Amino acid sequence: MKFTVNRSAFLKKLKDVQLAVSVRSTIPILTGIKLIADSQGIKMTGSNSDISIETLLSAHDEKASLEIEEEGQIVLQPARFFSDIVNKLPDDQFTVEVKDREQTSITSASSSFVINGLDADNYPHLPEIDTTQSFTLPVNLLKKVIRQTVIAVSIHETRPILTGVRLMIQEGKLKAVATDSHRLSQRVIPIEGMEGLSHDLVIPGKSLQELTRLLDDTLEEIEVAIAENQILFKTEDTYFYSRLLEGNYPETDRLIPETSTTNVTLDAQVLLGAVERASLLSHEGKNNVVKLSVKDNSVEITGNSPEVGRVNEQVAYNDINGEEMEISFNPDYLKQALATFGPVEITVKLISTLRPFVLVPTEDTNDFIQLITPIRTST
């Protein structure tokens, strides 16, 4: 194998593929990048068993300035080492050539490296997924849904199913929900042209986070295909595979209260600022707890850490109705939830001191819900 290519164009594709490569793997060859040079261009593959990314640097891409002198394939490892070499090369162009026993030379101007490669035939095959039943999603909307829900996935492996986001497609709607049993995030969006489709699956939260890093804002749509235990997200030149989580996801609809005792309408960013200031103090104490009080036609955020001090802040609001209420919570959960709304007006719905409270936008209240379980305090 031998090819010459533009360094910047190659690096962009290489960094995309690296998102799927683990520094440590029980399968040593997966710490590397698989390269295939043929008439189509340079195909790069990275995988960590959970996710796999395959992308093509096309021979027809003028920016790539790709010249393939000899077709072939190789696995270069570790991926980070190979990427660092390419990143530090002195010229805009460089050449990769595989010689005897997988030894691979990388040359650019007066610089020359020789690194050991691995036989690409030993690299695991990617899943085969039928794309005849695929559907498309707007990229900007998919990324927004992921950001709004992935914050609530569990980081603990004690209940593996909760480390993922559940996606349900039915009756022309996509419903995404995540919970770690302390909080919940749910988003529902209508999808045109999907009235006949029905899917119910759970995608690892880590996979979705890597997907958002991969997707360029210039992309308009992405093709999605689903197999028994895999999902494929496909753009014009890149394939992103993720395994699906097995098991029964809890029925979260019953966790969302239908009524509330106290409602507070305010600007999400105003409340976020107050909670961020209160959490500066709560993080310094032993208990990371902040209190929200609604009484005497006022909204107050309080943080009290005996080891450090106390903070009180009156929060501007647009409307209050219902009973007086005090509720304690983890400020980090509320900060993350508020950040997903952006600069919009929201309603905080409270039921009681010990019941979960919800945050919804004042418009489209059924389409986006953040739920947080309060913390029981001795005072």
Confidence at residue 239, expressed as pLDDT on a 0 to 100 scale: 96
- Residue 97 CA to residue 95 CA, distance in Å, equals 7
Q: Mean pLDDT over residues 241-269, rounded?
A: 95
The answer to whether residues 34 and 106 touch, using CB atoms and an 8 Å cutoff, is no
The answer to whether residues 286 and 378 touch, using CB atoms and an 8 Å cutoff, is no
**Residue labelled with tokens 């990143």:** 87
Q: Could you tell me how far CA 336 lies from the centroid of its own chain?
A: 14
How many other CB atoms sit within 10 Å of the CB of residue 35?
26
pLDDT at residue 167 greater than cutoff 80: yes
**Residue labelled with tokens 């119910």:** 200
- Residue 161 CA to residue 178 CA, distance in Å, equals 10
- Residue 92 CA to residue 9 CA, distance in Å, equals 10
Q: What is the pLDDT of residues 305-360, one digit of tens each?
A: 877 788 999 999 999 999 999 999 999 999 999 999 999 999 999 999 999 999 99
Tokens of 163: 């480390």
Tokens of 211: 């997907």
Task: Identify the H or E element spanning 285.
Answer: none
Q: Mean pLDDT over residues 265-292, rounded?
A: 90
> At CA 369, angle to CA 272 and CA 233, rounded to 5?
105
Q: Mean pLDDT over residues 157-171, rounded?
A: 94
Confidence at residue 378, expressed as pLDDT on a 0 to 100 scale: 64
**Amino acid in the structure at residue 140:** N
Largest distance between two CA atoms of the chain = 81
Beta bridge partners of 23: none
Strands 230-234 and 135-138 come out as unpaired
Q: Which of 99, 97, 96, 94 is nearest to 110 (CA)?
A: 94
SS3 (DSSP) at 298: strand
Q: What is the pLDDT of residues 96-148, one digit of tens each?
A: 999 887 899 999 999 999 999 999 999 999 999 988 888 889 999 999 999 99
The answer to whether residues 36 and 78 touch, using CB atoms and an 8 Å cutoff, is no
Q: Looking at the chain, list the stretches that DSSP marks H as alpha helix, in order from N- to C-terminal side.
A: 7-18, 79-88, 139-149, 205-214, 268-282, 331-339
Tokens of 183: 């909080």
pTM: 0.92
Distances (CA, A) of 187 to 37, 227, 376, 378: 42, 23, 28, 34
Q: How confident is the model at residue 191 (pLDDT cuts 50, 70, 90)?
A: confident
